Structure 1
C-alpha cells in the first residue's frame, strides 16, 4: 500500500502537535477567564486584569488568587501615591484627609490582603471574601474623608479614580471567589 505524498510524515506531525497543544491549552485558559469574568460586575476590568498574566491562571483558585494579587498591587500603588501627596500637601484639611486614607490603607496592604491570599491557598474562601469586602469599605472611608475635607484639586480627582478602581477590583475579586465557592 502506498501512502499519498500529501500525508505528513511522523516528525512533521509531532512538530505540528507540539505547536498546536500550547494554543489549545491557552484557549481553555481563555475560556475559563471568559466564563468567570462574565460572572463579575466588571467583566472588562476582570479580563484586563487576568489576561495579561503570565503564566495564565489555569483554574478558578489560581484566578481568584491572581485577582487578589491585582487588588493588592493596586491598593499598594494607591497607598504610595497618597503617602507622596501627604508629604507635598500644605493645606491642613487635605493633609489630614490624606493621612487618614494612608492609615486606612496601611493594614489592608500589609496584613489584610496578604492574609486573604493565604486563606485562599488554604481553601478558606469565606474569610478571603470578607477581607476583600473590608478593603472595599476602606476605600469608601478614604473617599468620604477626601470629599468631606473639601479637597478639590488634581490630586483628589486622582485619588477618587484610584479608590474607584480598587473598589471595582475588590468587587471582581469577590465575584471570582464566589464563582470558585459555587463550583463549576
Structure 2
C-alpha cells in the first residue's frame, strides 16, 4: 500500500509539471534569424565585390599612368631622371599633357630650391669674386624661375610653342651661372651639380612638351 501511494504521487507530479512547447512563433524567429544572416552574408559579398572592383580600377589606373610615364620619358635625353622625377607625382598623370606639366613643375621646384641655396651661400661667402659670381647666379635663377612660372601658366591655354620657348630660356640660365666661375682660374663653382640637374630637368621637360604638342 505504501508503494502504491508513492507511485500515485509520482504520477501526479509528472502530470502537473509545466511543459515547454516550441511554438510556431519560436520557429518563425529562427527563420527570421537565418534569413537575416543570409541577407548579411549577401551584403558582405556585395561589399567585397565593390571593394575588389575599386581595387581593380585603381590598379588599372596605375598601370595606365606607368605606361604614359614610360612613353613620355623614352622621348627624353635623361630617361632615368625623367622617370624618377615624374613618378613622385603619378597620381596626377592622365596623359602626355599632364606629364609635360609635371615635368615643368619639377624643374620650377628645383630652381626655387637652388635659389634658396644660393642665398645661404651668399650669407657666408667672403671672397669677392665668388660672392659676385653667386650674386650673378642668383639673378640668373630669378630669370629661370620667372620663365618656368610663365610656362606653367601657359599650360592653361595649351600654348605649346610659348611653353617651349620659355623652358628653353630657363635652361640657359644655369649654364650661364656655371660660366661665371670659369672666368677666374683656380675657382670651382659650388653650384655645378645643381646647375647640371636643372639643365637636365629643363631638357626633359622640353622633350615631353614637344611630344605632347605633336599629339594634341
Aligned to 1:27: 63
> Which consecutive aligned stretches of 4+ in structure 1 deviate over 6 angstroms post-superposition?
none
Quick one: distance in 2 between partners of 1:113 and 1:25? 29
Pair 1:88–1:41, CA change in 2 (3 A): same
Q: Say if 2:202 is the partner of 1:179.
A: no
The structure with more radius of gyration:
2
Counterpart contact for 1:50–1:56, Cα < 8 Å: no
Aligned to 2:73: 37
Aligned to 2:172: 137
- Bigger relative contact order, structure 1 or 2 (CA pairs below 8 A, ≥6 apart): 1
- 1:54 deviates by 5.2
The secondary structure found in structure 2 opposite 1:141 is: helix
Aligned to 2:122: 86
1:87-117 CA-to-partner distances (Å, cap 9, x unmatched) read 21110010111100001111322x2111101
Quick one: distance in 2 between partners of 1:100 and 1:150? 18
Aligned to 1:165: 197
For 1:45-64, list aligned pairs within 5 A.
45-53=81-89, 55-64=91-100
Gaps of 5+ in 1: 1-8
The two structures have a TM-score, normalised by structure 1, of: 0.87
- Aligned-CA RMSD value: 1.7
